[in-house]
Every structure is written in C-alpha cells, then in structure tokens.
Chains A and B, each alone.
Chain A
Amino acid sequence: MDGVSFHVDRGETVGIVGESGSGKSVTAMSILRLVAEPGRIASGRILFGDEGKQKDVVQMTDDEIREFRGNDVAMIFQDPMTSMNPVLKVGFQIKEAMAAHERFTPKQARDRVVPMLKRVRIPAPEDRAKNYPHQFSGGMRQRAMIAMGLSNEPHLLIADEPTTALDVTVQAQIIELLRDLNRDLGTAVILITHNLAVVASLCTRVIVMYAGRIVEEGPTRQIFKSPQHPYTWSLLRSIPRLDEYQHEKLLTISGLPPDLTNPPPGCKFHPRCRFRVDRCLEEEPPLGEVDPGQKARCWVLMRNALAAQPQQAGQP
C-alpha cells in the first residue's frame, strides 16, 4: 500500500473497488488499525473528526483506539456466517457491542437491542434477539451485524464486501438497507467491493484501487460515464450491460495483478495495459486531476487513447 489518500465527508457513501489483492481491505483495516500481524502502518496519517479538531488514528494510544472503534467507526465484514460468536445469543452480542463503550447505560443498551433489530428489518425482533446465530439465515446475520455496527451510532460504517457471501436477492436487500440507513441516520459509509453494480446503486463517489494504489477517483456517475484510467475502463467493459455495446464481446483483462513484494517499475498496471506508452514502463504517473472532481493515475488517459486508436474500443 502506497500513496493511498482519500477523504470521506459526513454522511457520504464512498465505494472502493478493485480486484482481489489490490489493497481494498487493508485500506479499511488500517482505518481501524486492525491490520493483521506481519503488516503494519509504517507511516501516514488517518484523520478523523470535524475540521480543525481532527484526531490522528495512527497516533492514538491503545485505549483511545479502542474507544474509537465502534464509537466513531464501525466495520462489518464479508462473511456473516463467521462474524458472530456462535455460542452467544444475537441480542446479547448486540448488547455487548454497546456495553463495550459507556455511551449507553446497561438498561438503555438492553432496551435498544430490539429496536436495532427492527431497524435493520429483522422480522419478529423480540423472538429473534433470543436466537443463536446459527438459527439466522445469512442475510439476517448480515443485518444483525449491521445492527451491531450501528448500535453505538458511529459516524462512519466500513462495509467490507458486505454482500459477497450472500444470495443475489439478499444482496439487493442489504444494499437497500445500507442506503436507507445512510439516508436516515446520516452515517457515512465506505463500501468495499468488487461488484460495480453495488457501487453504482449505492455510492456517490468511487475509488478504484490497483496494486495498493488509488488509480482513479471521482463521482460515481462521472467515473461510470467517462473512466480515464485504462484499468477502470477495462473493468467497466468486462461486465455485461443491457443498455450499451450489445453486440460487442466482453473485455477481459489479461494477466494477473502484480506481485507486490516485487512490483514492476513505472506504472503498476503497465504489464496488463493495452494503451501503454514507453513512459509507463519507467515512471509511475501521479494521481492527477483529469476533470473537476475526478483524478486518475495515468500518463495516457482514456480520452486520448480512444481518440488515437478508435478501433481499440470495440476490438479487445
């Protein structure tokens, strides 16, 4: 991970997309300082809070970081099957999440469990609170995880591939739920996913990551309409669409993501890039502004590439 810098505004929904191993999850884990053992935060800052009185997560003491987790930022994980403690009742676990911080009295915490379950649309919440996780379906468990994450009213919810392990129909419900909670509670959401459809339906801004770097960033609409980095462009062209390019073959991105212990010189995407120029092999491009609000890390940019080689667009 190198040179990843981004911001999330209050109440905003930001999507982070990229393929496996591109550093999406590590970025999210870093925000809570939960990076697993061999990894560590070598340098950098993670600022949180209102303008002017921001706290740096990297500098926090252990007690501060513990208060920060859950209270200010909560996280939900990919697999709801394994994210809950199998031996404790669901309601109890939600209560525990609140008991970890002194925001609510024990009685308040107890009284909040059922409304939290109701808020995430779990049917019969009074009965369900007394169930064990294995008596919940996958979708319900993810809802319960969201309830747990939101129980301390954090300002930011990090959802690390919240729908990957779920059925397609349940995915839509979870995404809808996240959208409504974002709207009703004003909780900012960072959504980590490799599902572009999820990003399109939920996020106002999107960050595309490749090989531990941000390669493109901007408002969702703009990125989907005119991606400037070849990687983003290829990603968008590699999924079937009903409305456009109906008679074209789907694009594949050949090759594998680079080995990050021994990254290629220059632009990290150049071995797989069909638009590369000589400069890409030697010098890594900066993340530069290409349009108002939109940044891309590329020497070429898609608008120039497509203008120069129009046949490439349709000839993968």
Chain B
Amino acid sequence: MATAPSDYALQEDFVASEQYEVGESVSLWQDTWRRMRRNRLALIATAFVLFVLLVAIVSQFWTPYPIWKQGVGPTYQTPTLKHPLGLDQSGRDILSRLMGGAAISMEVGIGTALLSSVIGIVLGLLAGFYRGWIDSIISLVINVWYGIPDLLVVIMIVVITGRRELLFIIIAISITAWVNMARLVRGQTLSLREREFVEAARSIGTRDFSILFRHIFPNALGPIIVQATYLVPSAIIFEAFLSYLGLGVPPPNPSWGAMTAEGYRSLQYAPHITLIPALALGLTLVALNAFGDGLRDALDPRMRR
C-alpha cells in the first residue's frame, strides 16, 4: 500500500530532469485571426466592412462636394466623370451623400450594438448569476419585450417624443435590441456558473463581481461578440427603414434609407438615385453578416462544418 520512499525520490528526479518544451502562448485573438484568414468570404467581407468604415471616417473631413449643397450640377443627372454616381433630384452629388450616409449608418450600427450590448450583458449576467427573483423579473421583461414588435416600439418612441437626432435614434433602437443579447448572456451565464472553475473561484473567496467579470464574462465573450456583430447590420437596416418612413435622422442628413425614399419618386426616369444607396445598403449588410458568420466560425472551432 504505502509506496517505499525511494520510488518517490525516483519520480522527483524524473520531474527535475525532464526537458519541458514550454509552448509559446497563442492568445485567443491570434488564434481567431489565423482561422479567419482561411475563410475567403469572411476575409472579403472584413475588407469591405473596413472600407465602409474608412469611407465613413473620411466623409467627416472630406467629400467631393459639400453633402447638402444643392445644384452642384443638373438635377437627375446620370453618372459622369465629374459626378461618378450622378446627381439627385435637388442636384446634390450622390457620391458625397453616399459617403455621408456611410457615416450615419456606421454610427447607428456601432452605437446601437455597443449600447444594447451593454444593457443586454449586464441584465443577462445578473439574471443568470443570481437567479431567483432577479432572474424572474428580468426574464419577464425580456419575454414581454420579445412579444412586442420592435418597429412599433421605436416608431412610438420617435413619434411621441418627436426627437429625431442621431443619438436619440440610437437609444430608441437600443431599447428594443438588447433583448436577444440579454437572452444569450443569461443562458451562457446559467451554464458557466455551474462550471467547476467558478466553484473553484468561489472556494478561494473570490467576490461575486470578480467571478462575473473575470470568470464568467470572458468565457462568454465569443458568442457575445458574434451577437454584437449581428446587431450592427440589424440596427443599420432599422435606421434605414425609419428614414425611409421619414422618421429617421431629419433631412438634409444623407441617411441611406432617406436617400432611397427620396429617389423612389423618380424611379422611372432616374433609377440611379434609388439604386445606388440601396445597393450600398445591401452590400454593407451582406458584408457585415458574412463578417459575423466568419467571426463565429473562427471563435468556435468546434462548430465549424
């Protein structure tokens, strides 16, 4: 039963003499990037998203013509060398407005994704971790909120308050968009809180706050980021839709949705006014979704194929 001491001495020598190869530390993000690079569609999508972001930033400092300046050329003009994407019904340069629209779309998309993620993550963590009556209340709110059409809520908020500046639009969309994130985080937290490393952390006296943000949150980060990237395109289309209905950012701000709506009236003889922003919107949404898919596959190698 009891092993002779000499055996243990032998093992110690063994431990001491063995040459250990200490592997280089590959961080999660290096690893993710490595896998993402192999996915061509995701790579193209990433490049496109980065391009739109770049255009959005550039538009804040420079556009070929001032965004809201009317009559820089003949109205309804089709693309020419001077105006590569043509002019709209007020004689404004569509390329310039498209660039400005990219900025608005990106601000709405990213702003909403950040704001609603924060709301969703905090509520989801609290509900999943503490359970009990906190979870009951939060889950009830989630379920009720889930049953009400988002668009209705946002339209009501915008109409009732009558405020249409960009930040307010972001807040209005975020109020409806946090629900999915909260559900996701709650589910992740429920499963992670039962994991042994959480119990181990608790057994050495770690505070609840540390357990939540050091142990549970980072382990749920992959799905959270993927969910957040999907929030961006859904917020962009939401804003475009609001603008199309005339409830988005007020003119003459060049929202892609508003541009599409304005051109709709002259669709028969000047289709480019509608088609160009619609195409930009469509491509950006596809790229963002493909980017999200690629990120999801890269973050969770087990889920691939």
Contacts and interface: CB of A to CB of B under 8 A. Distances in A.
Contact of B219 (A87, A101, A152): A87
B204 A152 contact: yes
Contacts of A32: 203
Given A69-B202, A83-B200, A123-B15, A172 B3 contact: yes
Contacts of B20: 123-124
B197 A74 contact: no
Interface string A133-151: 0010000000001001101
A311 interface: no
B200 A145 contact: yes
A169 B201 CA distance: 28
A121 B16 CA distance: 8
B303 interface: no
A100 B25 contact: no
Interface residues of A, number: 49
Interface residues of B, number: 33
A173 interface: yes
A77 interface: yes
B215 interface: yes
Contacts of A97: 204, 206
A12 interface: no
Contacts of B7: 172
A100 B207 contact: yes
A47 interface: no
B200 A123 contact: no
B1 interface: yes
B269 interface: no
Given A131-B22, A173-B15, A176-B11, A70 B219 contact: no
Interface in B6-28: 7-8, 11-12, 15-16, 18, 20, 22-23, 25, 28
B199 interface: yes
Contacts of A131: 22-23, 25
Interface string B178-197: 00000000000000000111
Contact of B197 (A34, A76, A85, A123): A85
Contact of A127 (B22, B200, B202, B215): B22
A70 B22 contact: no
B2 interface: yes
Given A82-B195, A83-B197, A85-B197, A68 B218 contact: no
Interface string A187-206: 00000000011001100000
Given A96-B214, A123-B15, A172-B8, A74 B203 contact: yes
B96 to A, nearest CB: 45
A71 interface: yes
A71 B22 contact: no
B205 interface: yes
Main secondary structure of the interface of B (DSSP, over half): helix
Contacts of A130: 25
B25 A132 contact: yes
Contacts of A185: none
B11 A84 contact: no
Contact of A84 (B3, B12, B197, B214): B197
Contacts of B12: 121, 176
A223 to B, nearest CB: 12
A127 to B, nearest CB: 4
Nearest to B219: A87
Interface in A4-43: 32, 34
Contacts of B16: 123
B204 A201 contact: no
A71 B197 contact: no
Nearest to B203: A75
Nearest to B220: A87
Interface in A55-96: 66-71, 74-77, 79, 82-89, 96
Contacts of A84: 197, 200
Interface in A169-192: 169, 172-173, 176
B39 interface: no
Interface in B206-226: 206-207, 210, 214-215, 218-219, 221
A107 interface: no
A101 B204 CA distance: 9
A84 B20 CA distance: 21
Given A85-B215, A123-B20, A145-B200, A197 B1 contact: yes
B201 A241 contact: no
- What are the 10 tightest A-B residue pairs by CB atom distance, in nearest-first order? A70-B205, A70-B204, A69-B205, A75-B203, A127-B22, A82-B196, A200-B1, A83-B200, A87-B218, A85-B197
14 contacts: A69-B203, A77-B199, A77-B200, A84-B197, A85-B201, A86-B197, A88-B215, A123-B15, A135-B22, A149-B204, A152-B204, A173-B8, A173-B15, A176-B12
Given A32-B203, A87-B28, A197-B1, 8 more contacts: A82-B195, A85-B214, A85-B218, A123-B16, A130-B25, A131-B25, A173-B15, A201-B1
